[in-house]
Structure 1
Amino acid sequence: MANRRQVLATSAKVASLMLATGLFGSHALASGPAAGKGAFDAKTLADLTKALGLGAPTESKDVTITAPDIAENGAVVPLGAATTVAGVKQVMLLVEKNPSVLAALFNVSPEIEPAFKARVKMGQSSNVIAVVVTGDNKVLFAQKEVKVTLGGCGG
C-alpha cells in the first residue's frame, strides 16, 4: 500500500503530464491568458470589463448567484454563480468592496456546465456580483448584498 508521500508525488507527476499534454487546457488556469492582463488588479466592475475588453454589463434573470444573507465568518464566505444562458465563455465572482474586485474567474467550455462555487474572503459587508460572459461577448450579471459580521455582532 502506498503511503501519503508516494500518492502525492504520483499525483503531481500526473498533473504536470496532463498540463504538458494539454489535457487540462486553459480551463484549469484561472489567472492564465483568458483572465486578461490586469483583470485581478481591477478595483471596479467597469475596470474589470475594460481590462477584459468587454462591453457594458446588463443585469439578467438568467444569471443566479448563491450567497448567504449574513456571513458569520468573513474569512470563508461560500459563493456560487450559475446561468441558463447558452454559449457561456466565462463566469466570474466579484466582491465589490474587496481590494481586488475579482474574486474568481472560471473559463467555460461547451462540455462544462456553467455553475461554480467558491469560498472567498470578505473584509466587510459588500455587494457580491456574478458575471457571465457569452461567446458573443455579451456581459450579464446578478448581484446580492452580503453582510459580514465580526464574531456574530452585526456589521
Structure 2
Amino acid sequence: MQPTDVLAADWKSSGFDAKSLQEALAALGADKAAISTDIAVNGPDIAENGAVVPVSVSSNVPNTEFMAILVEKNPTPLSATMTLPAGTEANVSTRVKMGGTSNVHALVKANGKWLIASKEIKVTLGGCGG
C-alpha cells in the first residue's frame, strides 16, 4: 500500500477540504458511486470515544486500486485515502476521529468504477470538538 501523494497545489482538488460528503465524493470523481455488498466497513457499533474510532475496510472487488474512508457528519468528511498497487490485498485499518454518531463510508475504485458501502457508528463522546 502506498499513501496517496498530496501536493500543496493539488490540496483543494484532493477532497480533504470538502465540507460535505457529496462535495468530497465529487472532488474524488466518485459522485455517482454505486452501492456494493462486496465492500465491508467494520467498526464498533458504539464508540465510547470519538477521538479514536477503529475502522477497517475490506474489498472483495477484483482489481481494487483505491480506497477512501469518509465520516459523513464530520466537518470535513474525507478521513483517509489509500492507493493500492496491483496484487495488493484490499484490506486496510486505521483510526478516525468522529464528532458524533455518523455513517462511515468506504469508497472503492476498481476496474474504472466507483463503489461505496457504509456502516453507522454511534459515538457517546465526540472527538471533533463534541
In structure 2, the gaps of 5 or more residues are none
- Indicate the SS of the match to 2:58: strand
* Counterpart code for 2:82: F
Structure-to-structure mapping, 1:6-155, within 5 angstroms: 27-29=2-4, 31=6, 37-136=13-112, 138-150=113-125
In the alignment, structure 1 segments of 5+ residues that lack a partner are: 1-23
The alignment's TM-score, normalised by the length of structure 2, stands at 0.84
Q: Which has the larger radius of gyration?
A: 1
Normalised TM-score (structure 1): 0.72
**In the superposition, relative to structure 1, how do residues 35 and 57 fare at CA in structure 2: closer, same or farther (>3 Å)?**
farther
**Cα deviations across residues 96-117 of structure 1 (Å, max 9, x unaligned)?**
1111110110001113211100
Secondary structure in 2 aligned to 1:41?
coil
- Structure in which a larger fraction of residues adopt strand: 2
Q: Encode CA deviations 1:57-80: one digit per residue, 9 max, x unaligned.
A: 111110000011000011100001
Change (3 A) 1:34 1:129: farther
Matched residues, number: 125
Deviation for aligned residue 1:34:
9.0
Q: CA deviation at 1:30?
A: 5.4
Q: In 2, Cα distance between the equivalents of 1:36 and 1:88?
A: 25
Are the equivalent residues in 2 in contact too, given 1:83–1:132 (CA < 8 A)?
A: yes
Q: CA deviation at 1:139?
A: 1.1
Name the structure where helix makes up a greater proportion of residues: 1
1:21 aligns with: none
- Given that 1:30 and 1:107 are in contact with CA atoms closer than 8 Å, whether structure 2 keeps it comes out as no
Moved beyond 4 Å, runs of 4+: 32-36
